[in-house]
Amino acid sequence: MNNIQYISERLWAGNLGNAFVVLSFVSALLSCLAYYLSSKNSSFIKLARIGFNIHGFAVIGIIGTMFFMLLNHYFEYQYVWQHSNTSMDMKYILSCFWEGQEGSFLLWTFWNVFLGMILKRQLKNGEWEIPVMTIFALVQVFLASMLLGVYLFDYKVGSNPFLLMKEHSEFMDLPFVQMGKYESTARGLNPLLMNYWMTIHPPTLFLGFASTLVPFAFAIGALWNKKYNDWQKIALPWTYFCILILGIGILMGGAWAYEALSFGGFWAWDPVENSSLVPWLVMVGAGHTMIINKNKGGSLFTTHFLAICSFLLVLYSTFLTRSGVLGNASVHAFTDLGMTGQLVLYVLTFIFITVALLINDKLFKVSYVVVSLLLLFFGLLYGYKTILLIVWLASSAIITVISYYLYFPKEKDEEALYSREFWMFLGSLVFLLSGLIITYFTSIPVINKLFNTEFAPPKVHVYNVWMIPFAIIIMILIAASQFLKYKKTDPKKFFKRVAYTFVLALFFGLACSIPLYFLTNTEAKGVDTWDLISYSLLFVTGLFAVFANGDYFLMVLKGKVSKSGASIAHIGFAMVLIGALISTSKKVTLPKNIVDKKLTALGKDFDDRESILLTQGDTLPMGPYLVLYKGKKRIGIDVYYTVEYFKLNKENKPEFDFALEPHIQDNPRMGQAAEPDTKHYLSRDIYTHIAAADLNVDTSAKKKNGFGEAKNYVGHVGDTIFSSNALVIIDSLRSNLSKEQYEKNDSALEVTAVLRCVNTKNQSYMAYPKFIIQHNVVIPKEDVQNDLGLKFVFWKINPDDGTIEITMAEKLANNKDFIVMKAFVFPYINVLWLGCLIMAFGTGIAIIERIRKFKVQS
């Protein structure tokens, strides 16, 4: 079948794309080898530059071909079929491009090319071009290999985005593939990605990931040419560019989660969120040690270590999210495309290069290289991969420590206790340690897989308990450290200088935190005394950071914005933590338990403390509001539910305040996804989303035997059907005969669907529609639940997927629809979003100032 070309297939697009993929890999490999050889013979430099340019052209070619295929619906290609369809709004075509693994790898590759071209021009004919661009080109070799989609012996190398459906092992045998009918079955975009944030969040985040390569390449280049002190000035603006872009990308992800996801918040310590946060934390530490090095010449090893670790952590996060090891631990993770071994090799290769370059002794270095290759060979040939990997990693760590003491230059003088560089160095270590703890928690699925353990990933509260102390320390450091001088500071003058802002922060902090945390009832929220104390300490120290940096900006820097990037960024960072603290710790759930409308009987996903059942036309109290469910409307695949909010006026009469329209995306191929709607105030957000609702919008007024039009429902045992006045749970299926008895006898097979119907007053009613087969003829037997006015017909069983099909019709008098809704208040969350803007603004100013100083010094 694979040799057959269907009339509708456009093979030229796949052939062109594959040509670009091969050209991208070969040219990156050529550029890497030529740059390396240029270190020994400068005549290769021209070939290296040409190779990198060709690689960039090939990457643009791959992107152009993929976009052309997506825009023109070439559904015969697996990537287009999986990530787009004709019913999708074309404004989300960008999201289709990077939804899959291949597209996101290509996005990463593109940003590396973009940064590499700028860096190549900046470093041209300089001493850093060859070592830095060699590392750049080597990274591109690995990324280009992720798109090859070929087998080397029994190992898969990459996943090809230009694979035809008939060539894909999972799809080639499906009937619609064999018939060449792709369009009607195209899967389309994940509903959660149909959001404007997802057109800008991934490219920003991947630009941040790509920018970690620049400090890494400089640090590796310094280990290569043994010029440990010369690269920081060039890399410093790039480092803060990485901090800015990666930070913005992470915050955009939080904004997307807040607006599009229904877990009720902006950060859930999801493994993929953590995997982007940790490299940022480490890069922030690297940026501060670079400043120490630039001003004093110290923290050499720490600067190299942090710059290298940030990139390695990006590679590790790539492994976590794309190897399938996270399983169901993350809603963001990709499925395994068979590239786990390749991803592991990607990470280990750059660890190997780093450790090898640290070793100065030639015999020691050769021994390390040979032993590493032997361990790899034995692992591939004989197994025991876990044991050998642990042995190699432990040996590499020990060799790194030995190499530092034997070969790496040391600082002559220790930092004074009351010096700026000492406390900046301490802050960098705090960022590193917090990142390592988050990495450990995030890696629990990997630990379970390696050691066959069953540790449960920590809950959100556990992360908070561990991270708040680190946040408190960081707040104190960014408040006080700017008042310290390099080398030495008079302690008396220092404490006197910071005392004013500390006392002010303590006064305002306690005045706010005592009523916030100690004069309110927190037992129902499961908050203990330590939580309250830690919240208060973080609030006070956060204010200390804001006030102290504001004081430094006004009194020391005299309000000069161009010189105040660090102070402004610190104020923004403190505001982010204060906003996150208040909005999450004081988050209020609006719905209250209503006795005659209990929801817990409907299943474990329903909670009377967090949900409210609203029947159309009824007005119910919800917190300080009265809420009215007005009705619903369908726009395309989205079903919007209009909920009006009222407040009592001075005359104690309800007065309209605002309306929200949370909606459910009813994607026929990808399933349903609830998207919240939020009312924004200056001091709070009111956040709502639909937990359960009927998606059918019946606009017909036809009558048939007193019942409306029957609607078909497909589901498994345990699924729920929504009517306008009840939830119908498919409890079980009962059969009078086994399959073997039916095949042996000519008796009628009778399967009964046991349906439990729960109305809005938590009263249960039963219905028993039957599916009967006699003489190979299906005879459905309806059942009418008169108390609820519902008629059920059980008419089909699908043995392939275990689903059943039931039609349900309602008496036309039962015209009241209902929804189950959740609503939360996030107080002062705008402090967080304002802090994001201020932090980004301050970091941008710092970058501009670093570039200006670098040009002056050059």
pLDDT in tens, 5-63: 555 678 899 999 999 999 999 999 999 999 999 999 999 999 999 999 999 999 999 99
**The Cα angle at residue 820 between residues 814 and 826, in degrees rounded to 5:** 150
- The two three-digit tokens of residue 612, written as one number: 């409210």
Distance CA 617, CA 619 (A): 7
Of 449, 415, 140, 376, the C-alpha closest to 293 is 415
pTM to 2 decimal places: 0.84
CB 272, CB 697: distance < 8 Å: no
Question: What are the residues facing 667 on neighbouring strands?
Answer: 671
Mean pLDDT within 480-508: 92
Q: Which residue did the predictor score with more confidence, 502 or 387?
A: 502
Amino acid code (one letter) for 848? I
- The two three-digit tokens of residue 550, written as one number: 């504001």
Q: How far is CA 489 from CA 15, 382, 481, 492, in A?
A: 67, 60, 11, 9
Confidence band of 1 (pLDDT split at 50, 70, 90):
very low
Q: How far is CA 161 from CA 18, 85, 153, 243, 820, in A?
A: 9, 16, 21, 31, 41
Distance CA 30, CA 134 (A): 10
Helix extents (H) in 73-174? 78-83, 93-99, 101-123, 129-145
pLDDT of residue 573: 96
Provide the residue ranges of all domains of the chain, joining segments of one domain with +. 8-192, 459-586+838-858, 593-699+818-827, 711-815
Distance CA 48, CA 131 (A): 12
| CA 487 to chain CA mean position, Å | 41
Helix extents (H) in 413-514? 420-442, 444-451, 460-480, 491-513
Helices 529-551 & 491-513 angle (0-180, nearest 10): 130
- The two three-digit tokens of residue 602, written as one number: 């409907």
CB 276, CB 249: distance < 8 Å: yes
Confidence band of 524 (pLDDT split at 50, 70, 90):
very low
CA dihedral (328, 331, 336, 342) positive or negative: negative
Distance CA 464, CA 460 (A): 6
Distance CA 51, CA 48 (A): 5
SS3 at position 588: strand
CB 211, CB 115: distance < 8 Å: yes
Q: Please compute, for residue 807, the number of CA atoms within 13 A of its CA located in the half-sphere on the CB side.
A: 12
Q: Is the pLDDT of residue 271 over 80?
A: yes
Per-residue pLDDT of 571-620, as tens digits, reads 999 999 999 999 998 888 886 645 455 666 666 667 777 788 888 887 88
pLDDT of residue 693: 84
Secondary structure letter of residue 327 according to DSSP: G
| CA 704 to chain CA mean position, Å | 50
CB 847, CB 716: distance < 8 Å: no
**The Cα angle at residue 593 between residues 589 and 597, in degrees rounded to 5:** 130
SS3 at position 765: strand
pLDDT of residue 854: 76
Distance CA 435, CA 34 (A): 37
Q: Is the pLDDT of residue 246 over 90?
A: yes
pLDDT of residue 525: 56
Percent over 70 (pLDDT), the chain: 89
Helices 340-358 & 300-322 angle (0-180, nearest 10): 170
Distance CA 602, CA 692 (A): 11
Kind of pairing between the strands at 625-635 and 663-667: unpaired
Percent over 90 (pLDDT), the chain: 45
Q: What phi and psi, each to the nearest 5 degrees, are found at residue 695?
A: -90, -10
Q: Which residue did the predictor score with more confidence, 738 or 697?
A: 697
Q: Which residue did the predictor score with more confidence, 349 or 456?
A: 349
Mean pLDDT within 380-399: 85
Of 807, 759, 763, 743, the C-alpha closest to 781 is 807
Mean pLDDT within 308-337: 73
